[in-house]
Each structure stands twice: as structure tokens, then as C-alpha cells.
Structure 1
Amino acid sequence: MKDQHRILVVDDSATQLTQIRMLLESSGYEVSVASDGVQALASVKERLPDLVLTDLQMPNMDGLELVREITLQQLPVPVILTTAAGSELIAAQALHAGAASYVPKSAIATILLPTVRRVLELQVSAQTNQLLASCLHQTEVTWALVNDQSLVPDLIGSVESILNQMSDYDPGQHMQIAMALDEAIVNAMVHGNLEIASELKCIEDGQPYLDKIQERLADPAYSNRRVHFSLRADRHGAVFTIRDEGPGFNLSDVPDPTDPSNLDKEGGRGLLLINTFMDEVKHNEKGNEITMVKLCVNDSPVEQMDEQMDEESSM
């Protein structure tokens, strides 16, 4: 690891703190701890960590209040929640308030480290010429991606660079866009094009899942498929469309992505994050294409944005 990332873990359970701390430190992260949101907020202000990992139910200031304060004070640090059964509604509120992702406590051993790594990878900063950026009013760009997950962070970095030039998203919204895109693109590669079942992740620490990916990447019948990703953006917001070349899937086969009670389930986790972070989500009938809309102004109708972008493109 080129630079050791510092993670602040917030939990009022000494047992939980020790478990998470040992897991993170064994992977090379520098870890500091806090027992509630008040201590955590003071720690963030004193020395900004690279990431905050917080429990939801704590005394003095709970995880939801901590997320709201970090967002309100525009502190540039992503927050991951650890969720337990019974905290689904609070967790959903925290995701809407600005948290970047979540990990069910029942799956900490398998999901925590991949989630932490992905969130840190997706922290993108793009320096732009503000005068030049103010001259850009609309853009549309498309990619045809090979099934290589290592491309996704750089792709999202390119997307964020474009959005930084023309949209007024705050840092929390940028992270949520990055997380939603990551979930959707990786899903299109692995589950769409390579047709690999997510249930394999839960077997033998996920090794059969990784083995199946390598097997399918060596088979041209699967590996030659592409993920078609398009971005259409203007000052009002952005529309992202992701389509794979696989057979598609039945949306009714996964847990309802808008139901907070499914937060503690591993299946459908990506769709839940996508539906939480985006203002509008649509799937085609075949189930191999997803369209996501993220507005800059919450009260701007999606239809108005689409109509304006269509009118400008016809000029």
C-alpha cells in the first residue's frame, strides 16, 4: 500500500471495536477508534481520516446523527455503516443522508474489507479550470468495456472529472454516484456478461466465485461480451445507462431494492444502494440494462431534464 489509509471506527461495543480493528489492521490499515458520534466528530475535525466506519445505535450521538453532521459540515470523508437486524430504517435514512455504503454485521468477515477497499478506491478528486468548466453546458460520452473490474475505478474517475466541470454535486453526492456506478458496472460484467451467480460469494470465503470468474474470462462465449456505458450530463444533472450483453435477469427474483428491511440481506445489496443513491432507476424488460438519474437540484423533474437535454442536442 503506497500510503497507509487511516480509518476511524466508531462503536460503543468494545468487542465489536476489537473485531473490526483487528480485521482492518491485519490488512495494513491504520485504525483509530471512538465510542460514540460525539467523539468521532471531534476526531474527524482534529485529523481527517480517509474513511469512517460507524455503528448506528450508540449513546450521545448515533450513527445517523454522525452522518448528518459530517454531511452538513461538508467534511470530505466517506462513511460506511455497520448494520444490525432492527436498524434497517435508521440505516436507510443514513444512506439518504450521505453515507457511502453499508456492511451487515452478520457479514463483516466477508464483506467489510472488499467494501472498505472499494470505497477508498473510488475517492476521486479532479482539479479543473473553473472558467473553462463554466463554459461546458452539456456532454454525452459512451464506452464499450471489456469485463475487467480493474478498469472500473479509473472509468468512474473519468466520469467524476466530467461531472466536476459542469455539475454542483457535493462530495457526498459524488461518492454516492461513484458507489452506484461501481455496483451497476461490476454487476453488468460479472452477473450479466459472465453469468455468475452471487450466491457463490457465500461459499468457502468466496473462492468458488473468484474461480468461476477466471473460468468464464477464459471462455470467449462469455469474455467477448461488452458492457455498454453511456453518460449524458448537463447543468441539471446526469443520466447513466449501463447495458450488458448477457441474457438478462428477472428483477422479481431479488429482494425489493426499495425496502429497508432488506438491508441486512447480502442478496440485492447493490440494487438497494443504487436505488437509495439515485433519484430515478429504470430497468429494461430484458433485465440487461439499467438507467439511473442523479439530479443536481432535488426539485428538478426528471422529465424536464430529459426534455431540455433533447432540445439542446437537436440545436
Structure 2
Amino acid sequence: MTILVTGGAGFIGCNLVRRLQSDGADDVRILDNFSTGFEENLSGVDVEIHRGSILDEEALARAAKGAEAIVHLAARPSVPRSIADPMASHQANATGTLMVLEAARREEAHVVLASSSSVYGANPTLPKNEDLRPMPVSPYAVSKLATEAYALSYQSVYGLTVLPFRFFNVYGPWQRAGHAYAAVVPQFVSQALAGLPLTVHGDGEQSRDFTFVDTVTETLSLAARERISSPDPVNLAFGTRHTLLDVISRLETILGTPLTVEHVEPRAGDVRHSQADQSRLRELVASVTPVDLDTGLAGTVEWMKRLNAPNSGR
């Protein structure tokens, strides 16, 4: 099966490429402009690399030629980044998705794509089920709502089979820290390993449905290979809920040392609590067993230790 992964050199993408190959996909290719992904993320992986942007129609057409499925992960991530430059987020996430859907329509390819739990925004209901009213509070969230809406419209109008997943706080190996828009888990782990205070925006009682990347890639691989589709968006998370302070406590146990916390101002556009209703997901991928938080955090710590080790080659 020929599968194209857009954003395949990024955090989730490079993990997915490895999963697809282990699951037997015989032709895996990526399209990435390496603006946030890294070529070294693909070290040791036999994958066809297409360099370019999803906004480049010719590059996208070459990468998608003959693809039976496209997993669309390429995006401009981060709520703060979208607040700093909303036009760039719209172009990458909304317009970029539209171009991927056009490429898929030409190839009659199945499309699995990444939306975000951020679309729920200010809606206070927990857990978040997909029938709740979206109330996005950042340009990033709006662009992701457009992403899934475009996909579902193509399914309705053109008969393209699609599956838009709403990701919830994915973490794990190959997720980098050390930049202004780093996700919270790699930032915490990196600071802890360096002996630095852990930066917490706000009081740390905000909660998230953390999902280990291996669980996400298992789900994405299954959905792409079996051409699973849905008439509605689907949460890709399993109904857990942990505060940031709880994550820090678990990291203290894993590392065997107390950690210092530095509280700073809350970030604009962040939601207070997030937790998925997994009912719709379970109807589609009942076989997936999620990795628990302690196991996932331990695996993340071990990977980051190797990343930071002398002569790691990464």
C-alpha cells in the first residue's frame, strides 16, 4: 500500500512512518518542508522523502502521485504561534489542508488528518464529546476547525473518504524542547534533566488528556491501512485527565528526585481543562490499547536522556 505522510519529519510524523513500516506498508513517503521537522528524525528509516510545502501545488502533486492513502499531519502548530502570526497559521492549516484534499481527490486517496481538541475552546463541558459546540479561542483552533470542516465537506460533495481526528496533547519520543513553542511534557522533561526549575504557566491545576505518541500512531496506521472513515470528527484520546502538577509529581517519581517549579503568567488562548469522550473512537478502533501516562513518561525520559547524551548521533 502506498501511503503519503505530510509533515512526516515532524514529531508525530516520524513516529508514524516507523509504525507504518512495521505494520507492513510497502511504500511510505513523506512531504515536509523541514520548517519544524528534522531530517535526523528519519535516521534509519527507509522512506521516500519529498522536500516541499503542502502549499506548493507541484511538490504536493509529485508526492501524492499514486498514493492510496494520505495521513495529513503537516501544520503550523502552537496556540501562541498563531496569536503572534494568525495569517501564517491560517495559510498552513486551512489553505494547506484544502490543497491536500485536492491532491487526494485527484488520486482518489483515503485521507486521515489531524484536527485538534483546541476546537472545543471555551466550551466548559467535560468530557469533550464531538457533538459539543466548538468554541475556539485562538487562531490556531479556528484553523483546525476549518481543517476538519473542509475534509468533511469533501467527503459529502466529492465522495472522498476521510477521517478527521481531534488530537489531545500528544507527547513522547522525538518531540523536541528548547524553543519558545515547546509542548509542556518535553519542556518539563528537558528542564528536569538539566536541573532547572520547571516553568508552569498559571497555577498548574489546568488538566489535559495526555496521549502517548505510540497510541496515536497505532490508531493512525490502522485508520489509513483499513481506510476507516467517519461522517463526523473523532476524538483521538482515551478519557484520561491529569493536571500539570500531577505530571510533575510523576516525573519526580520516575527521576527519583524532587523538582522545583517556577510559576509564570498564564498563556493567552490556553483552555483550562481538556478531556476526551472516547466513545466514538472506540467504535472505530476497538483494538487499540492506550499506553498509560507513567509508562509513556518513562519512555519519554529515556529517549530524551539518549538525545542529550554525548555522541548520541542525534
User: When the two structures are superposed, what TM-score results if normalisation uses the length of structure 1?
Assistant: 0.36
User: When the two structures are superposed, what TM-score results if normalisation uses the length of structure 2?
Assistant: 0.36
Q: Which has the higher helix share?
A: 1
- Point out which structure has higher relative CO (alpha carbons under 8 A, 6+ apart): 2
Larger radius of gyration, structure 1 or 2? 1
